[in-house]
Structure 1
Amino acid sequence: MNKSSIYYLVLLLGLPFYIGCSENTPTLDTTSQKKLAPEITKEIEQNGCIKSFTISEDSCGKGSFYSHYGKDTKTKEVKENNNSIIHHKLPSVQGEIIEIDENGEDLNFLQYSDKIVVLEVFGKECMFCTKQGRILNMLKNSSKDKIQLIGLQVEGRMNPKETKKIFKKHGIRHPVIEGEDAEKLQDYLQFKKDWDGILPFILIIDKEGKVRNVHHGLTSLKELKKDVLDAQKVSTPAE
């Protein structure tokens, strides 16, 4: 067999591996897999290239990270309670109790009824969440006392050492709820707001409890400022 034949044979053998991932389905390199939770890495190895599992910018140009919180845990209980008020009483890491009334599609944060609430779902393993945290701090600083940031950390409970490290890294000065303490709230996000595990995941909630905007993946300061401004206009009665 001559060199030319060997070359074409190698190309043919490699073709199936090349076409397994399209441009719209980015791959995850092996060095990045080490940063993921074990259950996430395992599923990537089993399924090959999956867009949802990328920890780089996706085809939309938005950085995102996939949380293993189940796509298939949509419960009948959530459906049955779709039109009733569900009261959530959730402890924050800092010790504050966050009270939320879930009324259909609405989320009313009782302590913060006079503010626009920006709820960020993030994870301790999510590198894009670090950048998002800094953006949210800039949003808070630019909006003064008009908004309230709330965090929901869903990548397993943080130990004290992790909490200190992550709070410092993200610049967190607002209440953070552990996902393990808020499973029903996660059900709400998944079933009613189409959260599929992508992190960060952000909701902009007006003073009436209406969810005005939802963002999957890393979101710019410009977008968030516009969302907050729109929510303020809706929340301000016309004179």
Structure 2
Amino acid sequence: MKKICLTLIIITSILFSSNLEFNLKDVKNNEINIAVNKNGIKFKEFENKVILLDFFGLACPPCIASIPKLVSIQKNYKNSFEIVGVEVQNKLTIKQLKLFFKKFKINYTIINSKKADSLVSFISQITKWEGGIPFMLLIDTKGQIRTIYRGIVNKTELSNDIEQLLKQKSI
């Protein structure tokens, strides 16, 4: 039993003490570089912004129903907030994702999970996420996960949570 506990402690220490990097591209072919270290999860392209990391699927009705709400929220907070969506259900081609992006007039970053499998696995490990969608993480400007949303979240709750983090940023 002591060996198992010691092994788990060592694995956990290695996981969180080492620096991880995820170098991804969005549907517009922009680089999205994510660094994970003991201080948190940092999106280099969105420095000093609150991040909503949204794991969704195109065959998920609640995910699709959330898109207009997310588009509106991104528009309202565009200077200090960024949504990064990761399509995890269908592993679509970039061309398919671009059509989806255009159809729903998405104004935030979308990443194809074909290229983000390691990020998805990492998030699953640290949050105990079992794959149910929609699944969202609200990350503060310091890279700390502040709120985990499993399932549908209403616009008012999400906006209030974002505003709280933005107020903390200005203090």
Normalised-by-shorter TM-score class:
0.7 to 0.9
TM-score for both structures, normalised by structure 1: 0.62
Deviation at 1:164, TM superposition (A): 4.0
Assess, with a 3 A threshold, how the Cα gap between structure 1 residues 79 and 154 changes in structure 2: closer, same or farther: farther
Following the alignment from structure 2 to structure 1, what is the Cα–Cα distance between the partners of residues 109 and 67?
Answer: 13
Q: Which residue of structure 1 aligns with residue 34 of structure 2?
A: 100
The counterpart of 1:233, out of the listed 157, 160, 167, is 167
Shift of 1:160: 5.4
What 5-or-longer segments of structure 2 have no aligned partner? 1-9
- Give distance in 1, aligned partners of 2:57 and 2:46: 24
Percent identity among equivalent residues? Answer: 25
Amino acid at match of 1:153: E
Match of 1:145 in 2: 79
Shift of 1:184: 1.8
TM-score, normalised by the number of residues in structure 2: 0.84
Moved over 4 A (4+): 76-79
Going from structure 1 to structure 2, the CA distance change for 1:78 and 1:234 (only over 3 Å counts) comes to same
> CA separation of 1:144/1:231 partners in 2, compared to 1, >3 Å: closer, same or farther?
same
* Structure-2 separation of matches of 1:233 and 1:194: 29
User: Could you say what secondary structure the match of 2:160 adopts?
Assistant: helix
Larger relative strand fraction: 2
Higher relative contact order (CA 8 A, sep 6+): 2
CA contact (8 A) 1:130 1:169 kept: no
Paired residue for 1:90, among 24, 38, 52?
Answer: 24
Q: Please, which moves more after superposition, 129-138 or 140-149?
A: 140-149
Q: Is the 8 A contact 1:156 1:180 kept in 2?
A: no
Rounded to whole Å, the distance in 2 between the matches of 1:122 and 1:171 is 16
Q: How far apart, in 2, do the equivalents of 1:94 and 1:109 lie?
A: 17
| Structure 1 residue runs without a partner (length 5+) | 1-75
User: SS of the counterpart of 1:81?
Assistant: helix
